[in-house]
Amino acid sequence: MQRKLAFEHTPGLALPLRFLLAAPWFGALAGLLLVWQGAEAMSTRWAPATLAVTHLLTLGFLGMAMAGSLLQMVPVVAGVELHWARRLGPVIWAALAGGALLLAAGFLHGLPWCLRAAGILLAGAFILLVAVLARALAQRSAPNALPVVAGMRQAVVALACAVAIGVTLAAFLVGAVRLRVMEWTNVHAAWALVGWVGVLVVSVVFQVVPMFQSTQLFPRQLAFTLPPLCLGGLALWTVGYLLNQPWQWIGAGLVSVCLALFAVYTLVLLLRRKRAADVSTWYWWLSLGSLLASVAVFLCPRGVDKALVLGVMFIGGFAMSAVNGMLYKIVPFLLWYHGQHAGCDVPGVRQLMPDSEPRVQFAWHAASVAMLLAAAIAPGWLAQAAGAVLAVSCMRLGFDLALAAISLRKLANEQNQES
């Protein structure tokens, strides 16, 4: 199922790099906000501070990382042109960054004008992003890339649904519309986290795990069927949930089975590979283990208050672990490739990003997940400690990626002066 990548279609280094380098700093800001707000931000999912922290992580950290990854991977994996991207990329980046910051400020301080401005900026950012990606994904791709491309298409559809619901919720907060806010907030979270983040990570893993982890390839049929089954189950749950029908759990069960099957199968591939595990494998173990734990918590009895625990394990444990591990692989590889393509004598990927750097960051990240989980169960002083560790973890990631990019640019400038 894996195919040779079409690097002749690469959109250039600047387009994805601005997104990938910015992502960790939104995570750091979320951690610092948690330090400031303390236990209040871990007391209930509806607290203003909780909403601010959550959206800094989902829109800022994950949104930036996934937008940058898609703008790089879609043309290279599918072998298609990415029209408009170079011109619209800076606009999308600025609107996404500004929208995430304004939304967090609007939640935290209850400022309607911030929420209105954030809704406009975020809607604009995601409409442009979806338009760029949809045009590329609508083109005919190479046959071997079809499973990955199909999964990306479905993730983009889920993103469009999540954004539409999110904009409607923002309109509710400023008094523009009426709706059952609690039910629609749950639907928004499901489409954003399971539909967009979950389906996209699943689809990308089919390409990057065999490529970077030297595992066996995923079966083509599994890659074709898991994303649409997951999205179909999510749609079924949504309709049943909004209509308050008992068969909503058929859809929820289908989603749970799909995610659990994906996690178990990927773990088996990682355990069977011949090469010894390195630090990037540790990120995948933590990510997939957290995904299995999320499924188990979701299936717990209704009486258990599990929203915060589920959020920590899915966002922090599953999604952020996967993104951290991929950033430590993708960014140095892009720097090396574009440096070589520009005719520079660049060091290898392992010299640009020695294993010692992600090892340190992994320890901080794993500690932040554990402490956030503890704070979700018993907030108190643990919330501030967890926020501090989260901030350090994301800052370490941000500095590691930025220093690799700066060192390569400095080297290229020196070589240009010598020549």
Q: Is there a domain that residue 142 lies in?
A: yes
Q: pLDDT class for 390, splitting at 50, 70, 90?
A: very high
pLDDT above 70 for 305 = no
Q: Which long-range contacts (CB under 8 A, 24 or more apart) does 373-380 make?
A: 373/309, 373/312, 373/313, 373/316, 373/317, 375/39, 375/42, 376/42, 376/308, 376/309, 376/311, 376/312, 377/309, 379/38, 379/39, 379/42, 379/43, 380/39
pLDDT for res 409: 82
pLDDT for res 177: 78
Q: Phi/psi zone of residue 244: left (φ > 0), alpha (ψ -120 to 50 degrees), beta?
A: left
CA distance 374 to 368: 10
Average pLDDT in the chain: 90
pLDDT for res 231: 96
CA distance 99 to 103: 6
pLDDT above 90 for 379 = no
Contacts of 160 (CB under 8 A, 6+ apart): 126, 130
Predicted TM-score (pTM) of this structure: 0.94
Q: Is there a domain that residue 374 lies in?
A: yes
- Enter the tokens of residue 384: 């501030």
pLDDT in tens, 19-59: 999 999 999 999 999 999 988 888 888 899 999 999 999 99
Q: Is there a domain that residue 387 lies in?
A: yes
Specify the amino acid at residue 259.
Answer: L
Q: Is there a domain that residue 2 lies in?
A: no
Distance between start and end Cα atoms, the chain: 43
Q: Is there a domain that residue 413 lies in?
A: no
Nearest to 262 by CA among 218, 297, 299, 293: 218
On whether the CB atoms of residues 31 and 390 are closer than 8 A, the answer is yes
pLDDT in tens, 397-415: 999 999 999 988 887 777 6
pLDDT for res 22: 97
pLDDT above 60 for 119 = yes
- Residue 221 CA, distance from chain mean position: 25
On whether the CB atoms of residues 323 and 67 are closer than 8 A, the answer is no
DSSP state, residue 300: S
On whether the CB atoms of residues 173 and 112 are closer than 8 A, the answer is yes
Q: Is there a domain that residue 54 lies in?
A: yes
Q: What is the mean pLDDT of residues 133-155?
A: 87
pLDDT in tens, 197-217: 999 999 999 988 988 888 899
Least confident of 87-101, 145-159, 244-258, 347-361: 347-361
Within 214-315, residue ranges assigned H as helices are: 220-242, 248-272, 279-298, 307-311
On whether the CB atoms of residues 70 and 63 are closer than 8 A, the answer is no
Contacts of 367 (CB under 8 A, 6+ apart): 389, 393
pLDDT for res 194: 95
pLDDT above 80 for 340 = no
pLDDT above 90 for 287 = yes
Q: What percent of the chain has pLDDT over 90?
A: 64
Q: Is there a domain that residue 41 lies in?
A: yes
pLDDT for res 120: 94
Number of compact structural domains in the chain = 1
CA distance 10 to 82: 8
- Enter the tokens of residue 172: 């509710």
Four-CA torsion 269, 274, 276, 281, nearest 10 degrees = -20
Nearest to 281 by CA among 370, 360, 212: 212
On whether the CB atoms of residues 64 and 325 are closer than 8 A, the answer is no
- CATH, residue 100: 1.20.210.10
Least confident of 91-105, 108-122, 134-148, 349-363: 134-148
Structural domain of residue 99, as residue ranges?
7-402
Four-CA torsion 211, 213, 217, 219, nearest 10 degrees = -110
DSSP string, 177-223: ----HHHHHHHHHHIIIIIIIIHHHHHHHHHHHHHHH-PPPPPHHHH
pLDDT for res 143: 75
Q: Is there a domain that residue 416 lies in?
A: no
Compute the radius of gyration of the chain from its Cα atoms: 21
Q: What is the mean pLDDT of residues 385-397?
A: 97
pLDDT for res 383: 92
Selected residue with higher pLDDT from 308 and 304:
308
- Enter the tokens of residue 81: 């042109």
Selected residue with higher pLDDT from 396 and 212:
396
Q: What percent of the chain has pLDDT over 70?
A: 95
pLDDT for res 402: 94
pLDDT in tens, 218-266: 998 999 999 999 999 999 999 999 999 999 999 999 999 999 999 999 9
